[in-house]
Amino acid sequence: MMSVSEALRKRISTRAFLPTPVPETLVREILDVARRAPSGGNVQPWKVMAVAGEDRQNVIDIAAQVTQTNPAGEVGERFIYPDNLWEPHRSWRYKLGEDMYALLGIPKENKLGRLAHLARNAEFFGAPVGLFFIIDERMGFGQWAHLGMFMQSIALAALERGVASCMQEFWARYRTSLKAHFQLPETEMIYCAMALGYADESAAVNTLYADRAEVDEFATFRGF
Ligand SMILES: Cc1cc2nc3c(=O)[nH]c(=O)nc-3n(C[C@H](O)[C@H](O)[C@H](O)COP(=O)(O)O)c2cc1C
């Protein structure tokens, strides 16, 4: 059985999937484990919309329609990154992009090539299952953080079962249309999506093991 540490080290954002279906029972099992994620006051500020088959195709079609009229997507009130991201975060973000496109063999000059890869987000990178994470707009930033813990729990529970994932805030571009499509109540919104499926091990992009800052770069120890 996979240890927690092993799962943490092994989880990566998979960006090329095989079409092999993930059965509903397995997705349910993953969610059943992940629902043990903590949340302040145990408010469990999340809902999940899981799509496969025709329902997956429907959201892919919606994304394509929005992109046709509005290539940048629907701009919402909640930003994905703050403007003018500062150091060291700015460099980390830049490095991730450069490392990923280097593996894909798409140089900076090939803007269309890079955009085409970015657009694969809107097809869940080929994953047969998409999860959408829904939060009530009245929730504060604390609850958004707790939703993140839930998402990581899902990714780890999935990995343990051989199921790869990619969290996808890219889908924030289609929040308005997806809200209408899923007929969400007025106060609810989609925060993020997650692609779930079996990794295409032959895809170079899946060999990306994104760097991390060393512990001493982000942690301060006092009084030990
Ligand atoms: C909330 C969240 C949203 C993300 N959205 C996207 C996305 O839309 N597309 C994508 O390719 N990766 C996305 N990622 C993946 C990050 O780029 C990735 O986690 C980071 O580069 C670290 O790499 P690793 O997950 O492979 O360890 C997202 C990650 C998180 C946590």
pLDDT band at 135 (very low <50, low <70, confident <90, very high): very high
Rounded to 5°, the CA angle 111-13-36 comes to 145
User: At residue 20, does pLDDT exceed 90?
Assistant: yes
Residue from 120, 144, 169 whose mutation best tests the ligand 1 pocket (most atoms within 8 A of CB): 169
Supply the residue whose CA is at minimum distance from atom 12 of ligand 1: 168
Q: Where are the domains of the chain?
A: 17-74+123-205
| 155-197 pLDDT, tens digit each | 999 999 999 999 999 999 999 999 999 999 999 999 999 999 9
What mean pLDDT is predicted for residues 129-146? Answer: 97
Q: Report CA(137)–ligand 1 centroid distance (Å).
A: 22
Supply the residue whose CA is at minimum distance from atom 6 of ligand 1: 168
- pTM comes to 0.97
What pLDDT does residue 96 have?
97
Mean pLDDT score of the chain: 96
| 28-77 pLDDT, tens digit each | 999 999 999 999 999 999 999 999 999 999 999 999 999 999 988 997 77
What pLDDT does residue 80 have?
87
What mean pLDDT is predicted for residues 198-211? Answer: 98
Task: Specify the range with the lowest mean pLDDT, choosing from 74-83, 120-129, 207-216.
Answer: 74-83
Integer Cα distance of 67 and 119 in angstroms = 9
For the structural domain made of 17-74+123-205, what CATH number should be given?
3.40.109.10
Q: Is the CB of 165 under 6 A from ligand 1?
A: no
Q: Is the CB of 167 under 6 A from ligand 1?
A: yes
Q: Is the CB of 127 under 6 A from ligand 1?
A: no
What pLDDT does residue 129 have?
98
Q: Report CA(168)–ligand 1 centroid distance (Å).
A: 6
Integer Cα distance of 187 and 216 in angstroms = 41
Question: How many C-beta atoms surround the C-beta of residue 52 within 10 A?
Answer: 18
